[in-house]
Structure 1
Amino acid sequence: MKAWPGTESGPKIGRRGFLGLVAAAGVLNGTGCGETCPQSPVGQAARPVPNHVSASEATASLIEEGALAAAGDVGPFTMAGLLAAPSFFVAHRGSGDNWPEHTMLAYTKAAAAGLKALEVSVVSTGDGVLVCHHDLNTERLTGTDLIIARASYAALESLRNDARAWLGPAAPLEPIPLLEDVLRTFLPSRVIFLEDKQGTNADELLELLEAYPGARDRVVWKQPASSPGHALARSRGYTTWGYVTAPDYDNLAALIPRVDLLGVHNWAPSAVVRELVASGKPVAAWEVRRRSDYARLKALGVRGFVCSNVVHVLHLEERRAEDGFDTGLRYAGDLPQEAEGDWQGQPALQQAAVRISSEEPASYLMGSMGGLSGPQRELAFELRWPEGLPAGTGSAGVAFGQDDDAPYRPDAAVSGYELEFGADGRLTLSRRDKGAGPVVLAEAKGAPPGAGEWTRLVLTVTPQRVIARRPDQQGADAETDDTAYGGGWFSLLKNYDAGPAVEFRNVTFREATAADACEPR
Structure 2
Amino acid sequence: MALPDGAQTITITDSRTHPDGGPMRGRIVLRPAPALVTNTAAGHIAQGEAEARWVDGVLSLTVLAADAEGYDPTGYTHTVMEYPDDAAGRVYPVLLTTDLGPTVDLAALAPVEPYSGDYVLVPGPTGPTGPQGPAGTAEAEQYTDDAIATSEATAASLYLPNALVTWDSYMAGATPLSPRYFAHRGRGMVSPEHTLIGYRAAAAQGFAPEVSVVCDAQGEAWCLHDATLDRTTNRTGALNTYTTEEIAQQVRTDARTLLGRGWEEQPLVPLRQVLDEFLGRIPILLEAKTNDSVVPVQQLLDRFYPHAYRSVVWKCHVGTLSLPWAKNRPNPFPTWVYLDPETSDAAMDAKDQWVDAWGVATTFTDPQISRIIDRGKPVYAWPVYRRSQRDRLTGLGVVGIMSSDPHYVSRTTPMRTTDRWALGVKESGGLPPVDYDDTYALQFGEGADEGWVSLPVLPNQSYGLGAYSPIAGSAAGYRIGFDMKYKQLPDSGIHGGYFFGKESDDVYRFTNPNASGGYHVVMRASGDMELYRHTAGVTSGTRISSVIDTDTPVADTAMSFEIDVTPTTVELRRTDGTGWTTGPIADTTYRGGYHGLSNGSISDLDTRPWWRNLTTTGL
The two structures have a TM-score, normalised by structure 1, of 0.82
> Does structure 1 conserve the Cα–Cα contact (< 8 Å) formed by 2:217 and 2:243?
yes
Deviations 1:68-90 (A, max 9, x none): 83465335222222332222221
In 2, Cα distance between the equivalents of 1:483 and 1:318?
23
Other-structure match for 2:340:
245
Could you report, residue by residue, the CA deviation over 1:439-486 in whole angstroms, capped at 9, with x for unpaired residues? Answer: 110131212102212111111111221111112333331242111111
Question: What is the correspondence of 1:296-445 to structure 2 with a 5 Å cutoff?
Answer: 296-315=392-411, 319-340=415-436, 342-344=437-439, 346-350=441-445, 351-373=450-472, 374=474, 375-386=476-487, 388-414=488-514, 415-436=517-538, 437-442=540-545, 443-445=547-549
Partner residue of 1:74? 92
Aligned to 2:287, the other structure's residue is in SS state strand
Counterpart check, 1:460 vs 2:564:
yes
- Cα shift at 1:416: 0.7
Counterpart amino acid of residue 114 in structure 1 = G
C-alpha spacing 1:58/1:406, structure 2 compared with 1 (3 Å)? farther
Name the counterpart of 1:506.
613
Q: Residues 124 and 201 of structure 1 are in contact (CA less than 8 Å); yes or no, is this contact kept in structure 2?
A: yes
The equivalent residue for 2:212 is 121
Q: How far apart are 1:418 and its partner, in Å? A: 0.7
Shift in alpha-carbon separation, 1:478–1:282, aligned structure 2, 3 A: same
Structure-2 change in CA distance of 1:361 and 1:318 (3 Å): closer
Taking structure 1 as reference, are residues 354 and 120 closer, same or farther at Cα in structure 2, changes over 3 Å only? same
Distance 1:330 1:285, change over 3 A: same
Name the structure 2 match of 1:260.
356
Letter in 2 for 1:409: R
2:248 counterpart of 1:157: yes
State whether residues 359 and 381 of structure 2, in contact with CA within 8 Å, keep that contact through their aligned partners in structure 1: yes
Task: Please give the alpha-carbon distance, in whole angstroms, between the structure 2 residues aligned to 1:398 and 1:139.
Answer: 35
Partner SS for 1:467: strand
* 2:312 aligned residue: 219
Q: Displacement of 1:201 after TM fit?
A: 2.7
Q: Which has the larger radius of gyration?
A: 2
User: 1: CA distance between counterparts of 2:195 and 2:49?
Assistant: 26
* Distance change in 2, residues 1:278/1:422 (3 Å): same
Distance in 2 separating the partners of 1:170 and 1:202: 35
1:142-221 to structure 2, matched below 5 A, reads 142-158=233-249, 159-210=251-302, 211-221=304-314
AA partner of residue 484 (structure 2): L
Could you say if the C-alpha distance between residues 251 and 505 of structure 1 is closer, same or farther in structure 2, counting changes exceeding 3 Å?
farther
Superposition map of 1:268-307 within 5 A = 268-307=364-403
**3-state SS in 2 of match to 1:139:** coil
The amino acid across from 1:203 in the alignment is: V
Number of corresponding residues: 456
Contact 2:214 2:221 in 1 (8 A): yes
Instruction: Using CA pairs under 8 Å that are at least 6 residues apart, name the structure with larger relative contact order, 1 or 2.
Output: 1
Matched, 1:234 2:327: yes
Question: What does the per-residue CA deviation read over 1:414-451, in whole Å, with 9 as the maximum and x for residues that have no partner?
Answer: 30111111111111111111122311101312121022
Whole-angstrom distance in 1 between the partners of 2:346 and 2:534: 39
Secondary structure in structure 2 of the residue aligned to 1:216: helix
Shift of 1:57: 5.5
Q: Unmatched 5+ residue regions in structure 1? A: 1-53, 513-521
TM (norm. structure 2) is 0.70
- State the identity as a percent: 28
Structure 2 spans left out of the alignment, 5+ residues: 1-23, 32-47, 52-77, 83-88, 94-163
Q: Is the 8 A contact 1:354 1:503 kept in 2?
A: yes
Matched, 1:487 2:592: yes
Aligned equivalents of 2:258 and 2:278: distance in 1?
Answer: 26
- Closer, same or farther in 2 for the Cα pair 1:438/1:185, shift >3 Å? same
1:471 pairs with 572, 575, 596, which one? 575
